[in-house]
C-alpha cells in the first residue's frame, strides 16, 4: 500500500465518538452544577443583601432590616405587607393609640413595602421572629383576590435556601429566581469582603431613620419622584382608576379544590407564616384596606379565617377624600385607619401589651 494512502476509518472510533461527546457534556454539566452549588453556599452579611435595592422602589427594605436586626428597640406589634398597609397604617399613631388605650409601653413597627407577594412577607416575618422573641401580634395585608405570582424582590432578599425550596409547580418565577442565585451569592460574598469598594456597609448606616418611621407621610423615591400622600386624588380620576382596577382583575380559573396549585405562592407562604406564628403564640390579623369604591369581599375568605382573624376598613370605601389614589389612603385616611385599627386590636385582645402574650 502506498504510504500516502489514508487508512480506512476505525469503526470502533466511529462508535465511541458520540459516547465521548456525551461523557464530555456530562462532565461539563456536572462541573457547572457543582460550581453553582459552591457559589450558592458562599457566606455573606445579610445586611448587605438588604442594601441591594436602595436605589429602587423597594428602598425601604434596608430600613426594614435595620429596624428588625440592628435596632434593639422592642417590637410588640408589627405590620407586614404591601403598599396599602405601608401608606395606610402609621406606626407612631397606632403606637400612641395603643398606649393610650392599654396603658402599656407598646412598641409598633410598620415593616411593609411596595407591591404584593406573600413570599416577601414570609421573608420579613421569618427575620422578625429570629430577632424579636417579644413580638405578640403581626398584622398582615390582605387583598381582594390572591395574586398568582410572588414578590419581585424575593430573589434579592430571601435566604438562599428559601429561594431554592420555593414552590416549583405553576410558579413562573422559580427558574429565573434559581438561575440568578449563584451570581447573587458571589456578588454578596465579594461585597461582604470589601464593603467600602461597593458603597455598602456592614454596620448601621448613618442615614437610619429611627425605630418609629412613619411610612404614611409624603416621601421621595430614589428616582427623585415625590409620592404625595397628603393630597386626596381628584374625584374623576379616582373613579376612573378604581373602576379600571376593580373590573380588570382575573377571577379563579381552576376549580376551588385546585386553589393550592392556582395560587401556590400565596397559599404556601400564608400557611408558613401562620404555622410559625402558632408555635410562638403570636396573633395573626389579616388587614384589608379596600380599593376606593370596592365593595367586593375577599375571595376565598374562609382560607384566611382558618389561619387568623380578618378585619376590613369598610368605612373607607365611600370616602373619596381619604384616598391619595385608587388603592392608597392619604394622610387623613391613614390617621383614621391607625386609630380604628388600635380599637380593633384592643377589642380582640391583640394589642400587643408587653409582659405576656395577649
Domain made up of 60-152+207-347: CATH architecture: 3-Layer(aba) Sandwich (3.40)
CA atoms within 13 A on the CB side of 65: 24
Q: In this model, does residue 212 exceed pLDDT 80? A: yes
C-alpha cell at 337: 385607619
Closest CA to 85 of 107, 115, 61: 115
Length of the chain: 358
C-alpha cell at 211: 425605630
The stretch 240-256 carries a mean pLDDT of 87
Q: Which residue has the higher pLDDT, 34 or 246?
A: 246
Q: Give the separation between CA 216 and CA 219, rounded to whole angstroms.
A: 9
Q: In sequence order, what are the residues at sequence separation of 6 or more whose Cβ sits closer than 8 angstroms to the Cβ of residue 321?
A: 232, 332
Centre a 10 Å sphere on the Cβ of residue 240 and count the other Cβ atoms it contains.
Answer: 12
User: β-strands 283-288, 323-325: how paired?
Assistant: unpaired
* pLDDT tens profile 111-129: 999 999 999 999 999 999 9
Element at 60 (helix H, strand E): helix 60-65
Q: How far is CA 205 from CA 165, 199, 214, 247, in A?
A: 32, 11, 19, 44
For cell 387583598, the residue is: 143
Please tell me whether the overall predicted TM-score, pTM, comes out greater than 0.85 for this model: yes
3-state secondary structure of 177: helix
C-alpha cell at 63: 430600613
C-alpha cell at 294: 370596592
Give residue 256's pLDDT band: very low, low, confident or very high (50, 70, 90): confident
Centre a 10 Å sphere on the Cβ of residue 288 and count the other Cβ atoms it contains.
Answer: 22
Amino acid at each position: 500500500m502506498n504510504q500516502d494512502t489514508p487508512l480506512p476509518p476505525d469503526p470502533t472510533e466511529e462508535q465511541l465518538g458520540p459516547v465521548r461527546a456525551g461523557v464530555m457534556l456530562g462532565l461539563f454539566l456536572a462541573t457547572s452544577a457543582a460550581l453553582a452549588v459552591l457559589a450558592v453556599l458562599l457566606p455573606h452579611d445579610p445586611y448587605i443583601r438588604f442594601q441591594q435595592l436602595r436605589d429602587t422602589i423597594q428602598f425601604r427594605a434596608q430600613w426594614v432590616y435595620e429596624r428588625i436586626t440592628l435596632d434593639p428597640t422592642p417590637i410588640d406589634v408589627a405590620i407586614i405587607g404591601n403598599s396599602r398597609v405601608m401608606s395606610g397604617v402609621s406606626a407612631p399613631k397606632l403606637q400612641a393609640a395603643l398606649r393610650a388605650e392599654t396603658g402599656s409601653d407598646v412598641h409598633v413597627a410598620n415593616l411593609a413595602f411596595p407591591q404584593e407577594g406573600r413570599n416577601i412577607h414570609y421573608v420579613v416575618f421569618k427575620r422578625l421572629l429570629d430577632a424579636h422573641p417579644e413580638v405578640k401580634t403581626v398584622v398582615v395585608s390582605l387583598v381582594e383576590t390572591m395574586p398568582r405570582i410572588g414578590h419581585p424582590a424575593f430573589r434579592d432578599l430571601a435566604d438562599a435556601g428559601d429561594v431554592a425550596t420555593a414552590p416549583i409547580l405553576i410558579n413562573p418565577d422559580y427558574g429565573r429566581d434559581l438561575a440568578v442565585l449563584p451570581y447573587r451569592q458571589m456578588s454578596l460574598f465579594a461585597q461582604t469582603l470589601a464593603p467600602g469598594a461597593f458603597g455598602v456597609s456592614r454596620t448601621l448606616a448613618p442615614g437610619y431613620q429611627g425605630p418609629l418611621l412613619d411610612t404614611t407621610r409624603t416621601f421621595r423615591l430614589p428616582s427623585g419622584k415625590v409620592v404625595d400622600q397628603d393630597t386626596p386624588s381628584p374625584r374623576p380620576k379616582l373613579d376612573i382608576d378604581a373602576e379600571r382596577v376593580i373590573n380588570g382583575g382575573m377571577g379563579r380559573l381552576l376549580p376551588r379544590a385546585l386553589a393550592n396549585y392556582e395560587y401556590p405562592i400565596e397559599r404556601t407562604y400564608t400557611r408558613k407564616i401562620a404555622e410559625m406564628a402558632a408555635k410562638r403564640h403570636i396573633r395573626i390579623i389579616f388587614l384589608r384596606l379596600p380599593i376606593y369604591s370596592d365593595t367586593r369581599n375577599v375571595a376565598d375568605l374562609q382560607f384566611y379565617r382558618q389561619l387568623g382573624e380578618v378585619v376590613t376598613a369598610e368605612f373607607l370605601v365611600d370616602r373619596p377624600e381619604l384616598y391619595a389614589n385608587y388603592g392608597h389612603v392619604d394622610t387623613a385616611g391613614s390617621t383614621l385607619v391607625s386609630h380604628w385599627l388600635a380599637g380593633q386590636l384592643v377589642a380582640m385582645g391583640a394589642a400587643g401589651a408587653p409582659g405576656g402574650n395577649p
